[in-house]
Amino acid sequence: MPLPFVSVIIPARNESRFIEACLGSILDNDYPREKLEILVVDGQSEDDTRSRVSKASEATPLIRLLDNPHRTVPYAMNIGIRAAKGEVIIRMDAHAHYDRHYIPLLVEWLEKLQADNVGGVWITHPGAHTREAQAVAAVLSHPFGIGNAHYRLGIDAPMEVDTVPFGCYRREVFERIGLYDERFTRNQDDELNARLKRHGGKIYLIPGIRIDYYARERMGKMATMLYQYGYFKPLVGLVVGKPATLRQFAPPLFVMALLGLPLAGLVWAPLWYLWGAMVVAHSALNLRYSLKLARERGLSLVPWLFRGFLTAHLAYGWGYLRGIVDFAIRRKHRQAGAVNIGLSR
């Protein structure tokens, strides 16, 4: 059976530190070049991302640079899909490095499982050589920080899942269910894959395929990113008709209790004891996991990890609560152009 033509789409914005290594790792893949194209969709980068991609495109006709005036990922993906020639569409992130077997394995498993979308396991690395960056990467790859997503924590055998990072899709998927929902600055893959599952699609996570992803290097950037993920999560639930899991709702409950119990304690004083018990319990768990991780990486990382876990929970939780207000109550997503949120890059 002949190999399908593959279109790799890379949404990019301010990725000058990573884009060349990313493109190099894709070009090193063991997939026939005559069956491959790489579309970098730039979201008005303010660094020299564009010039680096342009230089790379001069060296090989496989690379094309496209413009994304709207800047966000779903717009970038839709621009790329419309311009793509491939029978298979692979989304890749500029903030990552890919094994030389990444593309051939995705295509192989897509055919072998007769799947609509397949993806690999996400290995998170520090985005810089600092203790802060090490802590960010550790928080984003630990269950206490980001929950129990299989693609972040790893699996032993191929399994059917609800979503995968980035994804390798048959082009016919987009012809059948439509393109990315451009309202989702974050969580666009969650919404797309939920829509795919609702239409009877099959999504598989493959353990032998890995993505080496480089996390944000600063706590502030991580907080902005997780706030955005939390903010758009209620909209995913409203659009796809799927309620949040208890684990997903834990951070917003924590933030509500953290802010609400002291106020309620002004009316009924015993609630102050409940607030204190909650803070102590959360801090104890935080310290436990921070110490456990620091034993492997150095005890000087403990304060960074403690701060990182707390930041992750507060940012995601506060974003989720804002999302409930904006989408479940104010129905902001029904107002044209009303969903506008800053970028973390």
pLDDT tens per residue, the chain (345 residues)?
Answer: 799 999 999 999 999 999 999 999 999 999 999 999 999 999 999 999 999 999 999 999 999 999 999 999 999 999 999 999 999 999 999 999 999 999 999 999 999 999 999 999 989 999 999 999 999 999 998 989 876 565 555 567 899 999 898 899 999 999 999 999 999 999 999 999 999 999 999 999 998 899 999 999 999 999 999 999 999 999 988 988 877 777 788 999 999 999 999 999 999 999 999 999 999 999 999 999 999 999 988 899 999 999 999 999 999 999 999 999 999 898 876 654 545 555 545
Interatomic CA distance for residues 334 and 61, integer angstroms = 42
CA dist 305 and 285 (Å) reads 12
Residue type at 52 in one-letter notation: R
Give the contacts of 307 (CB within 8 A, at least 6 positions apart): 135, 219
pLDDT of residue 234: 93
Q: What is the CB neighbour count within 10 angstroms for residue 342?
A: 8
**Of 98, 152, 95, whose CA–CA distance to 121 is shortest?**
152
Q: What's the burial of 295, exposed, middle or buried (CB within 10 Å: 0-12/13-18/19+)?
A: exposed
Backbone φ and ψ of 8, nearest 5°: -90, 125
Q: Which residues pair with 124 in a beta bridge?
A: 213
In the numeric block, the tokens 């520090």 are attached to 126
> What is the token pair recorded at 91?
């989304």
What is the rounded CA–CA span in Å between residue 345 and residue 233?
20
Q: What is the pLDDT of residue 239?
A: 87
Angle formed by the axes of helices 73-83 and 188-198, nearest 10°: 60
Q: How far apart, in whole angstroms, are the C-alpha atoms of residue 165 and residue 64? A: 23
Query: Can you tell me whether residue 283 is helix, strand or coil?
Result: helix
**Burial of residue 341, with CB atoms counted within 10 A of its CB: 0-12 exposed, 13-18 middle, 19 or more buried:** middle
pLDDT for 241: 81
Query: By CB neighbour count within 10 A (0-12 exposed, 13-18 middle, 19+ buried), where does 238 fall?
Result: middle
At CA 19, angle to CA 97 and CA 313, rounded to 5?
Answer: 65
Task: List Cβ neighbours of 229 (8 Å cut-off, separation of 6 or more).
Answer: 186, 187, 316, 319
The CA distance from 180 to 77, in Å, is 7
Q: Rg of the chain over CA atoms, in angstroms?
A: 21
pLDDT score recorded for residue 297: 83
Least Cα distance to 209 among 335, 123, 114 occurs for 123
Least Cα distance to 145 among 299, 279, 293 occurs for 293
Distance CA(318)–CA(323), nearest Å, equals: 9
Q: Could you tell me how many residues make up the chain?
A: 345
